[in-house]
Structures are given as structure tokens and as C-alpha cells.
Structure 1
Amino acid sequence: MAAARAAVADGSRVAPLDAGPVEYAEAGSGPALLSIHGAGGGFDQGLAIAAQLVGEGVRVVAPSRFGYLRTPVPAAGDPRAQVDAQADAHAALLDHLGIDRAIVLGLSAGARSAVAFAVRHPQRVAALILAVPALHAPESPVAVDPTGGSRLAFAVVKAGGDFFWWALRGLAPSLVVRFVGVPPDVLAAADGAERARIAATIAAVAPLSARAEGIRIDSAYVPHDMPVERIAAPTLVITARDDHFNTLPAASRAAAGIRGARLMVFESGGHLLVGRTGEARAATRGFLAAHGLLEEDRTGDASGSSGRT
């Protein structure tokens, strides 16, 4: 527990914005990349997903969303309105840092405020990347795996109990893997480096108590139609067919609604894209290079990806 708290005690700052304090961290140099974490995350997850899905050559700005770590929850309100408020807070953070435009990366539940940001502040978005997006799909909604074990894990997470999360990870690791949207057999077939990455991702949810309020906000949100047709930025949407959170329908719907968007679907990998981050990163970098936002990689490209576009 102490190690988990120490890991998030350093490496971030708090911006005193008009809407309230927002924690953030920065890394790298180059075009600005606003990296918006998913449920159970924070600035630390934002830095990690930027490294995994984009890599070098960008200036990463990774905020902690409302209720996560040192970013407090604003006045209580409708969860949908909070998504818009979160998008406006993203814009205010960029203002604070003197950044006019940014590439925007939204992971899972973070895709909601990424989309809202692209709709409400279109001139600020150089490109939009939505990874396993927890958006609206009325015919087949995004949902936690319905098994009893996943419901138990979800109850532990919503309660924000550090000890119970630690115990659950130790006593029922396959349950936790399924809870984070990854089929256990996919993880079992992965190489050692990928298994270590997933273990680190799960461990990084601690301290759960410092993220619990944000998790409750994310879980209270009911996805609804957002005016994605108003998004003008080049857009790449990435998901996996076997994501246990069922983000494929939402990803497909978003890509169909955003003019010119590209959809990349992996046949396997689950919610954490197990074994697919190299391909996803190559595709992301190729996408950004095609729009003049990164220099084209000379060591690899996305042409060998097994994703469907």
C-alpha cells in the first residue's frame, strides 16, 4: 500500500484553474498530446498509455480526471454535464500550459471527455485517437463482464477498499484479469513482457481509495448520443473484438459517425490490447505521420497490422 501511494506522490503538479485544481504530469517533447486516462487511472495511467500507444516524439500532457488522485470532484451534478465540464477543464489546462492545439488520446471511459473536447473545442484538436472507447452503443452497450466474479470485483472497486483490492489481486488473479476486460486465455498465451505489462497495469490501480470517487463517477455515467458528426479532426478508433467490456459496437458506431474516421479492430487482445500494443502504436504513429503531426517512422509501419479498417 505504501509503495502504491509513493508511486503517485511525486511526478505530477496541480494547476490552479478557475474550474478548480487539476493534477497533471508531462513527459517528452514535440507536438502536444493530451492523454486522457480510463476508469481506475490517473495521470500515471495517462503517461503509460501515451508511451504504449504513441511512443516518442510528443509532449505528453496527462491529467487526472475528476475524482482521481489529486483532482477533486466539482460540485455535484448530472454525470453527463460533468463530462462536458471535464472537457472544458482539459481546455483550461491546455490554456494554463500555453498549448493552442493538441493531439487527443482518450482511453476507455476517458474517450467520453475526449469526444466532448473535440465537439466543444474543435479548434484545439489536431487529431483524435479513441482506444477501446466506452461510448454509446444502444444496440449493444458497453458493460462490465456479467459473471458473478466480475460483479464482486466491481463492488470492491466502487467501495474503494485498498485492502480488499490487494486481497482480490492475490487470491483471484484470473478474476481480476477478466474484470479489466481481458480474456484469461489471451493473457495466458501472451509473452512474459506482456504479462508483466498487464500485471503492472492492474497493480497501478492502487491506491484504490485515491481513485474511488472518479470510478464512482465513471460507473454512474450512462452513455448517450454525442454529436460526433461535428468532429472535424482526423480520427482513429481502436478496439478488440474480444474486449470483455464490449467496446466494439461503440467503437464502430463512433467511427461511422465521425467524418473520415478510421476504425482498427483486432481479433483478440481484450480491453488492454494484450499482444497488440506494438501494432496499435505503429498504426497510431502512421496515422499521425500521415497528417503531418509526427515524422514518419523508418523502423516499421502499420501495414502488417492484423487490424481491420
Structure 2
Amino acid sequence: MTRRGMLVGGLAAAAAALGGVAWRFRMDLGRAQAGARDGSRLLSLSGQLIEYADRGGGPALLSIHGAGGGFDQGLANASELVGDGYRIVAPSRFGYLRTPVPPDASPAAQAEAHAALLEALAIPKAIVLGVSAGARSAVELALRRPERVAALVLMVPGLYAPQSPVSIEPSRGSRFAFWVVNAGGDFAWWAAMKMAPSTLIRFLGVRPELVAAASPAEQRRVLDIVRSVEPLSRRYRGINVDSTPDLHELPLERISAPTLIVSARDDLFNTLPAARYAADRIPGARLAVFDTGGHLLVGRGAAVRAEVSAFLDGGGPEPAGGAQDSPN
């Protein structure tokens, strides 16, 4: 074969490979977009559109998702933590999926939107589950509308801590992932999932080596969470809201709802100081701390579910006067 023929053949092979990559990306993105549309509803509450899902029957549980989520993540979180037997209401917070960002996107404003949603659905009181950045509006709801909160569960909470604040892990890979998020780049996130998933796992607050040592089922769960951030272009506005929070001291001692707080010592988002700070101030709060697990509580699913189940069954809240740190 001549040199020209080899060049033409190489270019043709490269074009075919690029075409295959583009086809796989379009297929994967289409599935992600369909999943982010299916199963939710829209309500206009005082002029603010709120997307939410409403599933199941039983005691009401308001599932408030973390950064990178939406109603779909809220449903998944509730399914993992409490299973069946509850009516799960899972809103998409400000900037996520079909819920737009209002002029006031503060956790306090988001809490008022949660209360309005419960009222519109004729739910007088609900268990409130706040995960990661979702813990901020969960706490505000418990403070502002205590009559609406039957119990409060805060998982790896992205709350205020006076001396050791919650923060994004500062590695070069995490800085790259944050750049991708700011750009709202669907293809860049998809490509990183295919080529460097450990970078995104670390960006989500977990040491990649912890995931590598986990069971195959747990590895699949973590990768499903990474994948669930797609379509990033419909979530990055909310992520940007969550990434620049105005965290400040709140009167946590006024929270009257029974409270469970869960964190891990190796959470790369450093939520443990905030979890301890909140547990020390919320009357009767129970604090469960795991040695390992990271921000996604890898390998701790059964133990976390047991903590939540005991708490919701009435065995969890500690007597007033201090939190219990459950070492694991």
C-alpha cells in the first residue's frame, strides 16, 4: 500500500471511530434525558415552578436530593434508605431539571418551596430526608415550619461548621470535574465517565481505592450515581447554586423534630465537622459516624439502613442532652 493509501485508510478508520463515539454518546445522552423526564410532575407555587415525583403509599417522606441530583436522585435515595411502605415526595431543587432558579435561591427560600409543595399535596406533616447539600433546606424547613416535620434525617450534611467547613476535595482531577460542571458539558462528563471514572468518583467525595475494594454490586451503585448526573446540562445550574452557598450559623437548638445525622470520617467533602456541630446543638439528636464510606457511604448501605430504620421505628432519637457518636 502506498503512503497516500495508508494515510487515507488511517483517516477513514479515525473517522469511523469518532462516528462510533458520537453515536454512543447520543444514545447514552438520549437515555439520560428520557430518564430525567419520566415520572415527574410540575406545580406552580406562587409563580415558582416546582418539579416533583410522588410515589408509593404510607407515611409521607420528603426526599431532598443533594448536588448533581433532581427528583430522580431523591427517589433513589429514599429507595435505598427506607425501601417500600412510604409515600415518597421527591422535588427537584432550584436549578435542577425542570425547576428553574428563582431570584432568591437560598436554602430558606427552598424550604418555603418545600412547605408549599407539602401543602399543595395536602400532606400536613412528613419525615424529611436531606442528603448532602439537600440538608440545608431540610434544616431550614425544620426551623421555619416545624409543624410540617415529623422527623429529620440528615445524611452527610453539607451544613455550616465554624472551624472546618464543608469543601470540594482540592485535587487536580476535582478541579477539572468542577470546570466540566461549570461549563454544563454533557460530552465532557460522559467522556470522563468512560475514560477516567476515578476522577469523577473522587469529585463526588469518595476515594477511588475504596470503591475498587468494594463488592461488585457496590461498585455498580457508585457508577450509577456518577452516571445519574447526566444530563449535566439540565443540572449544572443547581450545582452552581449549591457550590456557592451562604452558610452561616443557624439556631439549631430550636429544632424540635427527632433528628438522625449520618456522616463518615473519610468523606472528602469534610461533612463530619458540620454533622458533629449540628448534632451537638439539635436537642436529642443522634449522630452515627462511620470510619469509612466517603460521601456516598460506600459499603455501609446495610448499616445505614439499619440506623434509619431503628430511628424511624422509634428507637433512634437519643434523650435530650447530647448526641451519640456511633463509631463503626
Q: Check the 8 A contact 1:55/1:281 in 2, yes or no.
A: no
TM-score, scaled to structure 1: 0.92
Which position in structure 2 is the counterpart of 1:308? 327
Q: Does 1:221 align with 2:245?
A: yes
Size of the alignment, in residue pairs? Answer: 292
Judged with a 3 Å threshold, the aligned counterparts in structure 2 of structure 1 residues 19 and 261 are, in CA distance, closer, same or farther, namely: farther
Match of 2:304 in 1: 280
Deviations 1:268-290 (A, max 9, x none): 00000001111101110110001
Aligned twin of 1:57 = 85
Among residues 84, 91, 97, which one is paired with 2:121 in the alignment? Answer: 97
**C-alpha distance in 2, partners of 1:55/1:150?**
32
| Matching residue's letter, 1:140 | S
Q: Which runs of 4+ in 1 moved over 3 A?
A: none
Name the counterpart of 2:192. Answer: 168
CA distance in 2, matches of 1:189, 1:223: 35
Q: Residue 8 of structure 1 aligns to a residue in which SS?
A: helix
Determine if contact 1:263/1:308 at 8 Å carries over to the other structure. Answer: no
Question: Aligned residue for 2:130?
Answer: 106
Give the counterpart letter for 2:78 in structure 1: A
- Indicate the structure (1 or 2) with the bigger Cα radius of gyration: 2
How far apart, CA to CA, are the structure 2 residues paired with 1:230 and 1:159?
A: 40
- Structure 1 residue 308 displacement after superposition: 2.6
* Residue 17 (structure 1) aligned with residue 45 (structure 2): yes
Determine the C-alpha separation between the residues in 2 that align with 1:255 and 1:19: 36
**TM-score normalised over the length of structure 2:** 0.87
Distance 1:184 1:8 in 2: 27
Q: Which amino acid aligns with 1:121?
A: R
Partner letter of residue 3 of structure 1? Answer: R
One-letter code of the match for 1:7? Answer: G
Structure 1: distance between partners of 2:280 and 2:153 = 14
Name the stretch that deviates more: 229-238 or 151-160.
Answer: 151-160
Aligned to 1:141: 165
Greater per-residue helix proportion: 2
Matched, 1:208 2:232: yes
Match of 1:118 among 137, 142, 152: 142
- Farther-moved stretch of structure 1 (222-231 vs 198-207): 222-231
8 Å CA contact retained: 1:119, 1:230 = yes
- Which residue of 42, 50, 67 corresponds with 2:95? 67
- The one-letter amino acid paired with 1:47 is L
Cα shift readout 1:21-54 (whole Å, capped 9, x = no counterpart): 1000022211000000000000000000001112
CA shift, 1:291, in A, is 6.5
Structure 1 unaligned segments of length 5 or more: list them.
293-305
Distance 2:248 2:182 in 1: 22
Q: Is the 8 A contact 1:267 1:307 kept in 2?
A: no
Paired position in structure 1 for 2:258? 234
Q: Higher RCO, 1 or 2 (CA under 8 Å, sep at least 6)?
A: 1
Deviation at 1:19, TM superposition (A): 4.3
Q: Among all aligned residue pairs of Structure 1 and Structure 2, give the percentage whose two residues are the same amino acid.
A: 59
C-alpha distance in 1 between matches for 2:255 and 2:326: 23
Shift, 1:148, TM fit: 1.2
